[in-house]
Structure 1
Amino acid sequence: MADQGLVRETACAVVDKLNSGEVTPLDLLDVLEKRIAEVDDRVNALPTLCFDRARAHAKTLMKKPAGDRGLLAGLPIPIKDLTNVEGVLTTQGSPIYRNNVPARSDILVEHLENNGGIIYAKSNTPEFGAGANTFNEVFGATRNPWDTSRSAAGSSGGAAVALATGTAWLAHGSDMGGSLRNPASFCGVVGMRPSIGRVAHSPAFKIDRNLTVHGPMARNVEDLALLLDAMSGEHPADPLSLPLLPTSFLSAARSGKKPKRIAYSPDLGITPVDPEVAAITRKAAERFAEAGAIVEEAHPDLREAHECFHVLRAFDFAISKAALLRSKRDQLKPEVIWNIEEGLKLTVEQIERAEAQRVAMSARTLEFFNTYDLLLAPATIVPPFPVENRYVAECAGKKFDNYVEWLGIVYAITLVCCPALSLPCGFTASGLPVGLQVVAPPRGDAQLLAGAKVLEDILGVRGTTPIDPRAPK
């Protein structure tokens, strides 16, 4: 009988046990199946399970010698329900795809499986990943385990909750407007948006779409780095994909390399922020001084971020979803319809202006990183909000114009092509997690992980997950 205590182990420790033969991939699947049965009905993180497929894959993998089973060595991984897994229900959170079973996996999934990952579940997501609150008409809402009346954010909400509740050691997600960073922040785990091209995936709708990237989520920085290593590498089907680096991200995370100069900004100059969130993130950022870093308040000039993102996101929705609007409008949620229609109304002049804004902001940000090694800011501008609220309508007295504007603090970083992660950095007075966004220059993924691990060690918040779901007090 496999030990249920394994759910509390780090992914790196479990992979070591797999490599030594102390546990098998089948043992881990038994542990997860039992844990999911115990807790998932309270949070709804992993609505689709595929344990038969996982066990068949595990048995095939176990025929290989222990050293030949890939970086993950048979560690189980859930895949976000936006991404195709061969033979497994993949709904994208939409009634349109309620019965969709893909015949072929995304190349990202094939890559993970080739690296010894075993797919056992699909994690819940909002419809088409739109909006940073994980609910949909197919599976319902995913709840925050720290307080099950609260949102888990999104769109990789199921992934974050699975990690926080011990139904996953590592999890896959994707990020356009903070979809790996927001739920990590709300759930007290680590979620990273890597550099564009770091993780190859199957192109869809546009060969060079780059607002969205795929990335890792974990309970700590080392585990996150391990999954990024397993996800990374080029593929001919993805022309933006980057080759593997000569040194692993896990070794970068463990390097102890300290940043010399840090910038902290409570708002990146573009958004209101809840005062409690600002205070907690500022206090965490200032603790970098304990590692000998200079910490100053500064940020690059990102003033065009809202206009730029609104246009480029709408353009992306038009390209990827206009056909669905024409044929299945009655099955789309209002926010998705709004997004597509905004995209279809765009003029070439608006797109030209937005692309020019993105180039200018990216250049200013690159210049900013000539002075600073890392930029720190809140990962979300509010603590976890009531799950029935579709989105954050206002913050600190400012009302937002649309359902994504509250995400400016993360989507501004998306626009300037920087890798970024959300690191657990403390709790509100009511016991809800707060995430600190850590940003590095483009392609600075290794630098980002090294710096985040240094601060993680100082803050001492690592190890607060997994938890059993908690009902509201």
Structure 2
Amino acid sequence: MTDLLEQSATELTALLAAGEVSSRELTQAQLDRIAAVNPSLNAIVTVDEEGAMERAHAADQALTRGGPTGPLHGLPMTHKDTHLVAGMRSTNGSPALADHMPGRDDVIVARLRAAGVVATGKSNVPEFGAGSHTFNEVFGTTVNPYAPTRSAGGSSGGLAAALAARIQPLGEGSDMGGSVRIPASFCNVFGFRPSVGVIPMPSDRNAWAWLGRVGPMARSVEDLELFMRATAGPAPELQLQAPLDAAAFGGPAPEDLRGVRIGVSYDFGLGVPVEAPMLEALDRTIATFEALGATVEQASPDLGEADRVFGNTRAFDFANSLGSLVDSRPELVKPEVIWNVEKGWALSAREIMETTAAATRLQAKVRTYFASYDYFLSPGAQVLPFDATLRYPQQVAGVESQTYLDWMRSACLISATGLPTVAMPAGFSASGLPTGVQLTGYHYRDPQLLRVARCYEEATGYARRAPEGLGQGRVVETAPALAGAHHHGEVE
């Protein structure tokens, strides 16, 4: 590994802007790193070497001409394979789209391109991003850089593994039910789920969709903030515009957290099962926040209606976006996606109205909680990275999983609130596996939340610990030989 690839996106963009490193040099280093370590991870599934070097050359020429450049000018980056990149294979991990070559960029890719990013390829995902374990019938399974027999999480698992493996310092994930936060926990990196609309995620079929978010993942909070400055801002496609702009992100982190009030829960007030190493990680984090001067008390928002809000809203969104594909080509779509689409089709008008009412009551509970606390701290995942040959954990802390949702409920409950949440590394278990926590703030207090996370990062430094032994000859099986039945439970 070169020192160049160990550096953050903030450091690298400064070097690029100063002419101390060229985009071509950095892009070649990334391509070389992919060649060296990706065979043992299967994190990057499409690589455009020729196109990447052409784009890097153009970035260098633009800098030489002295014209305007964006905040990420010349930075090479792979994109999540659920995001369209014009002229680059974009499969969503689905056999139905295995040869899909889109003619346009998704909004997030277009914004990154405008900010100066050099697209180099695509990172692996579960089919249609449905699931917090990254495997599909097109490319196979992505494994964890810290333990190559274990899951890297999902659906942004390819990106999380690439970040941990020092393939790139920064990238765009997405998160409906934990797809940024769970892989961040599994791979010892940071992930951010912003407030709704801060990074636009327009839907062709529902301009009011709110559950899914695009958000950055990185090895430092400073890089998350850099990403937000490069991509946040209004979009005409959205009916509701976020009251935040890109300039709000960044600024100095607080020296300590005196006066900050943090509520914490081990089980979300609902008896959610969590493995002991994840509870120990939460204890470490509590001790860190208390050492920084914060007041930490056991307290949880009333999340009693969050399961219904998440489950029905997600089913509605899946039926809306994927229903026509499932109806026309079900043989090409995995059973979990079919199940969730069918659940969406089956929602009655009464159920939809009752879900909206439940979401309204949930927001009232959230407002009550944040009148007393600034932040809510909870486990970043319920389990350690698990055997990558499984579809999902069959039990959590001795409690049998009845649906696919059970093992990732820690993330889904927070998704239902719509609140901004940052996933943070929390050290390693006794067995050497990464752990994580999630810190949640109030609506549109995203910049303040990230500054608190940066204070925590400076006090811990967990993400600086790199995986060992990558690129030493092991090749991951790319065909998904996964244990367990195709369980028709919740996904993502």
TM over 0.5: yes
Number of the residue aligned with 1:434: 435
Alignment check: 8 A CA contact 2:289 2:296 kept: yes
Number of the residue aligned with 2:129: 129
Number of the residue aligned with 2:239: 239
What are the ranges of 5 or more consecutive residues in structure 1 without an aligned counterpart?
none
Aligned partner letter, 1:298: A
CA distance in 2, matches of 1:246, 1:139: 35
Aligned partner letter, 1:182: I
Number of the residue aligned with 1:359: 360
Give the C-alpha shift of residue 420 in structure 1. 0.5
Per-residue CA deviation, residues 220-251 of structure 1 (Å, 9 max, x unaligned), is: 11111111211211121333443653744222
Give the C-alpha shift of residue 172 in structure 1. 0.8
Give the C-alpha shift of residue 7 in structure 1. 0.9
CA distance in 2, matches of 1:144, 1:58: 29
Correspondence list, 1:200-215, <5 A: 200-215=200-215
Per-residue CA deviation, residues 306-360 of structure 1 (Å, 9 max, x unaligned), is: 2221211111111111111111101111111111111111111111112211121
Alignment check: 8 A CA contact 1:266 1:377 kept: yes
Are the structure 2 counterparts of residues 369 and 332 from structure 1 closer, same or farther at C-alpha, using a change threshold of 3 Å?
Answer: same
Number of the residue aligned with 1:7: 5
CA distance in 1, matches of 2:316, 2:445: 28
CA distance in 2, matches of 1:162, 1:14: 17
SS in 1 for 2:61: coil
Number of the residue aligned with 2:35: 37
CA distance in 1, matches of 2:357, 2:402: 23
SS in 2 for 1:119: strand
CA distance in 2, matches of 1:468, 1:366: 47
Alignment check: 8 A CA contact 2:192 2:421 kept: yes
SS in 2 for 1:208: coil
Number of the residue aligned with 2:331: 330
Are the structure 2 counterparts of residues 246 and 318 from structure 1 closer, same or farther at C-alpha, using a change threshold of 3 Å?
Answer: closer
Alignment check: 8 A CA contact 1:202 1:237 kept: yes
SS in 1 for 2:373: coil
**Which range is displaced more, 444-453 or 234-243?**
234-243
Number of the residue aligned with 2:49: 51
CA distance in 2, matches of 1:458, 1:264: 19
**Which range is displaced more, 453-462 or 173-182?**
453-462
CA distance in 1, matches of 2:162, 2:200: 24
SS in 2 for 1:250: coil
Correspondence list, 1:260-409, <5 A: 260-270=260-270, 271-409=272-410
**Which range is displaced more, 132-141 or 286-295?**
286-295
Per-residue CA deviation, residues 422-465 of structure 1 (Å, 9 max, x unaligned), is: 10011111100001101111111111101111111222313113
TM-score by length of 1: 0.95
Aligned partner letter, 2:32: K
Per-residue CA deviation, residues 356-414 of structure 1 (Å, 9 max, x unaligned), is: 11121122112211211111111101100001111123212222321123222111111
What are the ranges of 5 or more consecutive residues in structure 2 without an aligned counterpart?
476-492
SS in 1 for 2:470: coil
SS in 2 for 1:82: coil
TM-score by length of 2: 0.92
CA distance in 1, matches of 2:464, 2:266: 26
**Which range is displaced more, 399-408 or 234-243?**
234-243
SS in 2 for 1:199: coil
Root-mean-square deviation (CA, aligned residues, Å) is 1.9
CA distance in 1, matches of 2:246, 2:79: 27
Q: Does 1:461 align with 2:462?
A: yes
Aligned partner letter, 1:151: S
SS in 1 for 2:86: coil
Alignment check: 8 A CA contact 2:230 2:246 kept: no
Alignment check: 8 A CA contact 1:264 1:375 kept: yes
SS in 1 for 2:133: coil
